[in-house]
Amino acid sequence: MAKLAQARGINTTIAFGENPPHSPNSFDGVLMVCTICFVQDIQRVLRECHWVLKPRGHLLIGFVPDNSVWGQYHSLRGKAGHTYYSQARFFSETELIDLARDEGLRLEKTNGVELPPPKVDTGDYPAGMNPSSGVQRLQVVLLAKPIC
C-alpha cells in the first residue's frame, strides 16, 4: 500500500505505532488498515496518533471487528496456534471508539465494507466456528483530532 501511495506522490512512513519517528502536529492523516489487532499497546498507539496529527487531522482505522465472521475465524485460528493470529486481539467498534476518545480523538464517521466469508471448502475452519453467524465486514472508523 505504501508503494502505491508513493507512486501517487504521497509521502509515507512505515513505523511502529507505539513509537513513531515524527514531531507533534506533523500529519493531516494517519491510516491503519488491518493493523490494530496486532499492536502491543493500543492506548499508546492511539495516544501517539493524536500526538502526530495536526488539529483537525484524521485517523482512519480499518479493522476486523471481534463479532464478525472474520474476527471469529482469526481468533479461533490464533487459539489453535496460528503464527500471526495467536498474538492478535480483536476489538468491537464500540470498544475501539471508546479507547480513541480516551486519547482525545473524536468520532466523525463509521462505515463498513462487506466481505465474503472465509471459504468453507478449504477445511480451514477451526472447531467451534459457525461461518453463518456474525457480520461479514471490515469496519472503518474515521476519527479526528479536535482543535484545542
pLDDT of 28 reads 93
pLDDT recorded at residue 48: 94
Which amino acid, 23? Answer: S
Confidence (pLDDT) at 113: 84
What is the rounded distance in angstroms from the CA atom of residue 44 to the CA atom of residue 137?
26
- Cut 0.85: pTM above it: no
pLDDT at 76: 86
Query: For residue 148, what pLDDT is reported?
Result: 63
pLDDT of residue 89: 96
**Residues 99, 46: Cα–Cα separation, whole Å:** 8
Would you state the pLDDT for residue 134? 53
CATH of domain 24-144: 3.40.50.150
Q: Residue ranges per domain, the chain?
A: 24-144
pLDDT in tens, the chain (148 residues): 789 989 999 888 888 888 888 889 998 999 888 899 999 999 999 999 999 999 999 999 999 999 888 888 888 889 889 999 999 999 999 999 999 999 999 999 998 888 777 765 445 555 666 555 555 667 888 878 887 6
